[in-house]
Amino acid sequence: MIPARFDYVAPESLDEALSALTAGGEDAKLLAGGHSLIPLMKLRLAAPSLLVDLRLVPGLAGIQRENGTVRLGAMTRHVDVAGGGLGLASAAAATIADPQVRNRGTIGGTLAHGDPASDMPAVLLAAEGSVTARGPGGTREIVAADLFEDFLTTTIGEDDILTEVRIPAMDGYGFGYHKFNRRQEDWAMVAACAYVKKAGDGTCEDVRIGLTHMASTPLRASAAEAALRGRPLDAQSIAAAAEQAAEGTEPPADLNASADYKRHLARVLTRRAIEDASE
């Protein structure tokens, strides 16, 4: 299918990209890997008048570790996150689609797009990470809990460029990622990620659980987290906590699964993710 007509620029600095985006008005869009935006344009669900391609802007890609935090440039591609030895973030990125998509799609693009079926948003939420957005008014940090507003809607402004993603290294935590889909390259019907920190006596010192596709935004499974904190990390406590994984969720029913089936998946996948994270 053929997209509607659009203009295209590929600026060579962040300032030029910001100027082009602002000058382009509300119909201008940033282009990163293009693996969400271009399909929408081909389906005529999006018809930007101007695409501002970020691929020539220097300094927007790369992974750095600094004082317990992993800093990823917004244009870092899924394939590099998957191979970057970043624990849960790498495990989740490795499940995104197929090699073709992972070689083009970027972490900034997937977080800015705000698709609740995407893999990385729930990971950022569980790790309590943040992003940096640069706009005409300056630079601001947005913590993950404030980033995802609704289906395909984030708090990154229309004139903002997401420049960096920060994920705590989560040293001392185990992790697990379980995603359920019909074919390996599909989006998650539901996915659950977990970080678990074990105390010296074998109880759960801390646990963070993120859910994918259980509402119009990624969610924390707060009831399950509260049920496990301070409890022994044995099969019984883990299963009891995971039973609460769907509390407070509003999963959208779709062609693949009813809301009830998604709640069932959330409970099962959360149990498996916690089990892996506790090993």
Ligand X SMILES: Cc1cc2nc3c(=O)[nH]c(=O)nc-3n(C[C@H](O)[C@H](O)[C@H](O)COP(=O)(O)OP(=O)(O)OC[C@H]3O[C@@H](n4cnc5c(N)ncnc54)[C@H](O)[C@@H]3O)c2cc1C
Q: Which residues are near ligand X by CB under 6 A?
A: 29-37, 39, 54, 74, 96-97, 101, 105-106, 108-110, 112-113, 118-120, 156, 161-162, 187
Whichever of 113 and 208 has its CB closer to ligand X, that residue is 113
CB burial of residue 262 (10 Å; 0-12, 13-18, 19+): buried
Whichever of 63 and 161 has its CB closer to ligand X, that residue is 161
H runs (alpha helix) in the chain: 14-23, 37-42, 78-82, 88-93, 99-104, 107-113, 120-127, 144-147, 222-228, 235-242, 259-278
Whichever of 128 and 158 has its CB closer to ligand X, that residue is 158
Q: How far is the CB of 204 from ligand X (least distance, A)?
A: 28
Q: How far is the CB of 262 from ligand X (least distance, A)?
A: 16
Q: How far is the CB of 90 from ligand X (least distance, A)?
A: 14
Whichever of 22 and 203 has its CB closer to ligand X, that residue is 22
Whichever of 54 and 269 has its CB closer to ligand X, that residue is 54
CB burial of residue 243 (10 Å; 0-12, 13-18, 19+): middle
State the Rg of the chain over Cα. Answer: 19
Q: How far is the CB of 163 from ligand X (least distance, A)?
A: 7
Tokens of 276: 């892996």
Q: Which residue is nearest to ligand X (CB)?
A: 105
SS3 154: strand
Q: How far is the CB of 217 from ligand X (least distance, A)?
A: 14
**Cβ–Cβ < 8 Å for 160, 135:** yes
